[in-house]
Structure 1
Amino acid sequence: MTTEGHIAALERRHQELDREIQTEMQRSTYDDMRITALKRKKLVVKDELTKAKGSVAH
């Protein structure tokens, strides 16, 4: 996969996790543990995205 393709995949995954978090929070009885886990995953993806974009700049 090219670097640009990898970045695009990471961006899609980040957006997907954001949608999952929003969907879970809209439930009347949402699961705090699930939301926390999703937010952690989203942060990991964001870190990977930042690193990938940084490598393109160099």
Structure 2
Amino acid sequence: MTIQAHLESLEKKHGALEEELRTALTSPSSTDRHIYELKRRKLRIKDEMHRIKEMTRH
């Protein structure tokens, strides 16, 4: 997998998590723990995308 393909894959995962988080935030059955996990996973993906972008700039 190329770096660009990996970035695109991460961006898709990030977008899917964003959508899942939006749904969870509006659902009364969502627990705080579930919302926390979604946010944590989303942040990890965002951090990984940032690291990859920084590596390719240098």
**Same topology, TM > 0.5:** yes
The answer on 1:48 being equivalent to 2:48 is yes
Cα displacement (A) at 1:11 = 0.6
**Equivalent residue pairs, number:** 58
RMSD: 0.9
Q: Distance in 1 between matches of 2:10 and 2:53?
A: 11
Q: Distance in 1 between matches of 2:15 and 2:23?
A: 12
Structure 2: tracts of 5 or more residues without a match: none
Question: How far does the alpha carbon of each residue in 1:13-51 deviate from its partner, in whole angstroms, 9 at most, with x for none?
Answer: 111111010011111232111000010000100110000
> What is the TM-score of this pair, normalised by structure 2?
0.92
Q: Report SS of the residue matched to 1:51.
A: helix
Identity of aligned pairs, percent? 36
Deviation beyond 2 Å, 4+ runs, structure 1: none
Cα displacement (A) at 1:52 = 0.7
The answer on 1:7 being equivalent to 2:13 is no
The answer on 1:16 being equivalent to 2:16 is yes
